[in-house]
């Protein structure tokens, strides 16, 4: 019995020892976990403190991030009705304008318009957007805030197309100053009408203008003006392919509409003078060469029918092609242009050279027929011999020289005796003039058709030279 009691006590002591070791082990694990957790908390606290210190420094250096309220709340946008203009019911609000022309992209004579890219800047004051500021610095915004406030409704008069550039964002800038002054800038490309006068084309000068005006507000509500006078219009270095830009200047005026009244209108005026060198190469020089080429026929034998006719027809068709090409690139206006006068006058010279050969050929034929009828040509003369001199090669025609005319008493020229005259003989140093009527001169030239070519070699170049002198003196 004593042995059983000892065994019970021994097992109980072993159980206590095992329980003590287990409790000690668990206590050590808990203490270690608590210590590690405290270290993490301390590190997190220090990290947050450092982050707050960095954010504080950043906010101090960037004033735009130091605002604790939204821009809409700063400008009190929700407190006002921006559908109404500033100072509604009072005097007209002044809106200053200045423009910087970036480029003139194209000028179309056919459509009578031009395309221009520019920076349009508006200046006005809206007390509703004033905000407190200790450093008196402005705030700059993009297009998202523009849609929530009032801006001037300026549009381009006589514009066909226009758009605001939107790459990579809409090219709109809004700058608000603490006292309520506002700068609103937009980058725009506009295509507008330009009424051109082509009566002196291509030696012309065109006056074009881009007009700005408020669409809804007349002069009682909105007053447009150039902010810096003549300095309100600035241009970059602009180079055009066909024009010189002689002048850029702003101006001001009023426009009246019978239903709505008077409106302020601003003008961007510019004067364009056309480059002439391109048209000299493409139109004038080729035309001159065609006219001079038509004169070559005056030096070709009058019996060379195919050569002279083909040369004349070629020059006429070439002139027609030049006239058609110039007309296709121009608007269909109802008046005569300077280039039309030159082209059609040159065409007339070319056409007259063809008519001149027709006259020479006709008179030559008539002259030969008369001689044949009067018997002045030999009986053995064949008309095919004359036709053989047409400049072509003939295998079946034997071209032999004309036989000499026999000398007969009928062909012998007798000089009648001079009748006695009571007129005194001419003194030494005087010249005898043989007067001949116009009709006789014409008949003389008709009977000697080769003289028409001789006169044409001088008359045609002199007449064309005189025409050019008069033309360039008038239009240049």
Query: Chain centroid to CA 106: how far?
Result: 3
Q: Which residues pair with 226 in a beta bridge?
A: 97
Name which of 11-15, 282-286, 421-425 the model is least confident about.
421-425
**Domain with 213 in it:** 93-274
171 closest CA partner among 181, 159, 163: 163
**DSSP string spanning 28-64?**
HHHHHHHHHHHHHHHHHHHHHHHHHHHHHHHHHH-GG
Q: Is there a single domain that holds both residue 218 and residue 353? A: no
Q: Is there a single domain that holds both residue 289 and residue 358? A: yes
239 within domain boundaries: yes
Q: Residues of 281-303 as b/e, b for ≥16 C-beta within 10 angstroms?
A: eebbebbeebbebbbebbeeebb
Is there a contact between 389 and 400 (Cβ–Cβ < 8 Å)? no
Instruction: Give the mean model confidence (pLDDT) for residues 185-199.
Output: 95
Q: Is there a single domain that holds both residue 150 and residue 284? A: no
CB atoms within 10 A of CB 83: 7
Is there a contact between 167 and 189 (Cβ–Cβ < 8 Å)? no
Task: Specify the DSSP element, H or E, that contains 251.
Answer: strand 243-257
Instruction: Give the mean model confidence (pLDDT) for residues 242-264.
Output: 93
Q: What percent of the chain has pLDDT over 70?
A: 73
339 closest CA partner among 353, 358, 360, 325: 325
Q: Considering its fold, how many domains does the chain have in total? A: 2
Task: Report pLDDT for 58.
Answer: 46
What is the band of 380 on the pLDDT scale with cuts at 50, 70, 90?
low
* Two tokens, residue 407: 């000398």
Instruction: Give the mean model confidence (pLDDT) for residues 71-97.
Output: 82
pLDDT at residue 436 is higher than 80: no
Q: Is there a single domain that holds both residue 188 and residue 305? A: no
Task: Report pLDDT for 461.
Answer: 96
pLDDT at residue 390 is higher than 50: no
Q: Give the β-pairing of 154-157 and 159-164.
A: unpaired
**Cα gap 372→295, rounded to integer Å:** 31
Q: Is 160 helix (H, G, I), strand (E, B) or coil?
A: strand
**Cα gap 320→7, rounded to integer Å:** 139
Task: Report pLDDT for 270.
Answer: 95
Task: Report pLDDT for 24.
Answer: 77
Q: What is the mean pLDDT of the chain?
A: 80
447 within domain boundaries: no
Q: Is 255 helix (H, G, I), strand (E, B) or coil?
A: strand
3-state secondary structure 71-120: HHHHCCHHHCCCCCCCCCCCCCEEEEEEEEEEEEEEEECCCCEEEEEEEE
Q: Is there a single domain that holds both residue 100 and residue 246? A: yes
Is there a contact between 145 and 114 (Cβ–Cβ < 8 Å)? no
What's 268's domain CATH number? 2.70.170.10
Query: Chain centroid to CA 77: how far?
Result: 44
Q: Is there a single domain that holds both residue 109 and residue 145? A: yes
Q: Is there a single domain that holds both residue 169 and residue 236? A: yes
Q: Is there a single domain that holds both residue 186 and residue 295? A: no
pLDDT at residue 391 is higher than 90: no
List Cβ neighbours of 126 (8 Å cut-off, separation of 6 or more).
86, 149, 150, 180, 182
Would you call 352 exposed, middle or buried from its count of C-beta atoms within 10 A (0-12, 13-18, 19+)? Answer: middle
118 within domain boundaries: yes
Q: Does 282 or 133 have the greater pLDDT score?
A: 282
How many H-runs (helices) and E-runs (strands) does the chain carry?
Answer: 10, 12
Is there a contact between 346 and 288 (Cβ–Cβ < 8 Å)? yes
**DSSP string spanning 316-370?**
HHHHHHHHHHHHHTS---SS--HHHHHHHHHHHHHHHHHHHHHHHHHHHHHHHHH
List Cβ neighbours of 290 (8 Å cut-off, separation of 6 or more).
315, 318, 319, 322, 346, 350
Q: Is there a single domain that holds both residue 119 and residue 202? A: yes
Q: How many CA atoms lie within 13 A of 193 on its CB side?
A: 6
Q: Does 211 or 54 have the greater pLDDT score?
A: 211
Task: Look at the chain and count its residues.
Answer: 476
**Cα gap 441→183, rounded to integer Å:** 86
What's 306's domain CATH number? 1.20.58.390
pLDDT digits (tens, 9 = 90+) for 90-130: 899 999 999 999 999 999 988 999 999 999 999 999 998 88
Among 274, 301, 333, the domain-final residue is 274
- Global confidence as pTM: 0.67
CB atoms within 10 A of CB 42: 10
Q: Is there a single domain that holds both residue 346 and residue 333? A: yes
71 within domain boundaries: no
Task: Report pLDDT for 290.
Answer: 96
Among 236, 255, 274, the domain-final residue is 274
């Amino acid at each position: 019995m004593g042995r059983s009691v000892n065994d019970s006590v021994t097992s109980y002591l072993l159980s206590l020892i095992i329980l003590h070791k287990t409790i000690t082990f668990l206590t050590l694990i808990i203490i270690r976990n608590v210590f590690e957790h405290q270290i993490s908390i301390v590190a997190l606290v220090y990290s947050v403190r450092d982050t707050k210190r960095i954010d504080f420094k950043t906010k101090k250096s960037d004033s735009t991030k130091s605002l604790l309220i939204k821009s809409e709340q700063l400008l009190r946008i929700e407190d006002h009705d921006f559908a109404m203009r500033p100072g509604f019911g009072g005097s007209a609000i002044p809106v200053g304008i200045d423009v910087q022309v970036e480029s003139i992209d194209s000028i179309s004579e056919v459509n009578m318009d031009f395309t221009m890219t520019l920076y349009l800047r508006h200046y006005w004051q809206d007390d509703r957007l004033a905000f407190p500021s200790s450093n008196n610095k402005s705030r700059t915004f993009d297009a998202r805030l523009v849609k929530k406030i009032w801006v001037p409704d300026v549009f381009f008069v006589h514009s066909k197309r226009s758009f605001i550039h939107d790459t990579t964002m809409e090219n709109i800038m809004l700058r608000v100053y603490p006292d309520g002054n506002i700068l609103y800038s937009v980058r725009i490309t506009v295509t507008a009408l330009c009424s051109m006068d082509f009566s002196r084309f291509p030696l012309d000068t065109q006056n074009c203008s881009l007009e700005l005006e408020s669409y809804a507000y007349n002069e009682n509500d909105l007053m447009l003006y150039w902010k810096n006078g003549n300095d309100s219009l600035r241009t970059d270095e602009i180079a055009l392919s066909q024009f010189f830009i002689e002048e850029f200047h702003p101006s001001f005026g009023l426009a009246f509409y019978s239903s709505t009244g008077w409106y302020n209108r601003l003008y961007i005026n510019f004067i364009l003078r056309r480059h002439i060198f391109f048209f000299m190469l493409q139109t004038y020089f080729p035309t001159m060469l065609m006219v001079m080429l038509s004169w070559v026929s005056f030096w070709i034998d009058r019996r060379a029918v195919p050569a002279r006719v083909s040369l004349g027809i070629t020059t006429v068709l070439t002139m027609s092609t030049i006239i058609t090409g110039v007309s296709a690139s121009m608007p269909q206006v109802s008046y005569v242009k300077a280039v039309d006068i030159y082209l059609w006058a040159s065409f007339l010279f070319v056409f007259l050279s063809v008519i001149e050969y027709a006259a020479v050929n006709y008179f030559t034929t008539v002259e030969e027929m008369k001689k044949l009828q009067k018997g002045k040509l030999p009986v053995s003369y064949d008309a095919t011999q004359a036709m053989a001199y047409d400049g072509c090669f003939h295998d079946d025609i034997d071209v032999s020289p004309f036989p000499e005319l026999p000398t007969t008493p009928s062909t012998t020229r007798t000089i009648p005796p001079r009748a006695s005259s009571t007129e005194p003989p001419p003194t030494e140093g005087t010249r005898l003039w043989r007067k001949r009527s116009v009709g006789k001169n014409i008949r003389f030239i008709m009977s000697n058709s080769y003289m028409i070519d001789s006169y044409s070699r001088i008359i045609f170049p002199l007449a064309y030279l005189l025409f050019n002198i008069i033309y360039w003196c008038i239009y240049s």
